[in-house]
Amino acid sequence: MIGKVLDIRAMSATSTAPPGIRSAPVLAKLIDTSSCIGCKACEVACQEWNDLPPETTVQHGTYQTLPDTTPNFWNLIKFNEHETSDGGFQWLFRKDQCMHCADPGCLKACPAPGAIVQYNNGIVDFQQDNCIGCGYCIAGCPFNVPKMSKQTKKVYKCTLCVDRVSVGLEPACIKACPTSCLVFGSKDVLLQKAQSRVTQLKAAGFSEAGIYDPPGVGGTGVVTILAYGNNPGAYGLPKDPSISWIVELWKSPLKWIGNLAIIGGVLGTFVHYLRFGPKHVPQSALTDQTEAGRRGEQ
């Protein structure tokens, strides 16, 4: 997205400052899972707008037609089957897609310059022309979002319809949602809206209702209202997601210790040579033992 360069706030594997000079309000998508009816209109809209090839559905005994998002299926409604305390049945829908973290683990883990960018409005986007297909982003992501194509060896995921948003349109899924459980806009405004919905749900008997905007990844650009906010696991969401400490350890202390060790090693051998130089085979070694002694006396 060449036209978006001035909006780039963060860029993977880039040692110098990112090119973004514009500022913009942080945008978000609000998903109210309590009013989702599981119609999958958002899935269709996503496939259609992004012009992605259809996925072969998998029948595994539930209404969910795919087990997981794929390289060409970026938005999947998860039909989590939940048994209530009184033995009743409930679907806990969840819109599985990229969460657009404020502190994106994928971007942190990526070794290819500019393959993952974050715009000033918070959208995290993969630039497949810069992607080298290493799959490190998959390790960086706490939500299992990036999917690598076996054909192209590149990773793909939801772009939050950055191409639509940058020309003032809302994402395709939002446009298609018939119950308005999907809303798009400024994150500040949406969080207020989410708060009033949570109050409403609590009044309706869902005492554990809450907002899923995990602070472990700096908050997300996809904010979810959960009727059972104390149990994100029931929706298939990690309870307290964060970038794995292994990724942090690798990208921060190990990188700097390693860089210093490499430079120190190269310089060290150089200094050693300046100080001690090469080893010479002495004359005495050129002949045999007895002669060595004799020559040594010379």
Partner 1 sequence: MAITMMKPVKVVPGNVLRYSFTERLVHWAAALSYIYLLLSGLAFWTPWMWWVAMMLGGGPVCRAVHPWMGLVFTISVIYMLRLWLPDMRITKTDLEWKKTIRAYVRNEEEEMHPVQAERGFARFAPVDRFNLGQKYLFWVMFWGGITLFLTGMVLWFSEYLPWSLRFLRLLSIFLHPVAFLITLAGFIIHVYMGTAVVRGGFSSVIRGEVSEGWARYHHRLWFDRITGASAAKK
Interface contacts to partner 1, rule CB under 8 A? 13-15, 68, 109, 111-113, 130-136, 138-139, 144, 147-150, 153, 244, 246-247, 249-250, 254-255, 258-259, 261-262, 265-266, 269, 272-273, 276-282, 284-289, 292-293, 295-297
CB 148 within 8 A of CB 155: yes
CB of 246 to partner 1, least distance (A): 4
**Residue number, 6 or 271, with CB nearest to partner 1:** 271
CA 168 – CA 161 distance, rounded (Å): 11
CB of 8 to partner 1, least distance (A): 15
CA 45 – CA 61 distance, rounded (Å): 25
CB of 9 to partner 1, least distance (A): 17
**Residue number, 178 or 265, with CB nearest to partner 1:** 265
**Residue number, 154 or 187, with CB nearest to partner 1:** 154
CB of 107 to partner 1, least distance (A): 13
CB of 202 to partner 1, least distance (A): 33
**Residue number, 163 or 248, with CB nearest to partner 1:** 248
Locate 233 and state its tokens. 């696991």
Neighbour tally for 41: CB within 10 Å: 18
CB of 293 to partner 1, least distance (A): 5
The set of residues, in sequence order, having a beta carbon less than 8 Å from that of 141 and lying 6+ positions away, is 104, 105, 106
**Residue number, 3 or 278, with CB nearest to partner 1:** 278
Among 25, 247, 4, 13, smallest CA distance to 113 is for 13
CA 96 – CA 40 distance, rounded (Å): 12
Among 291, 145, 134, smallest CA distance to 217 is for 145
CB 81 within 8 A of CB 200: no
**Residue number, 167 or 275, with CB nearest to partner 1:** 275
Q: How distant, in Å, are the alpha carbons of 103, 163, 188, 222, 247 from that of 146?
A: 15, 19, 27, 15, 16
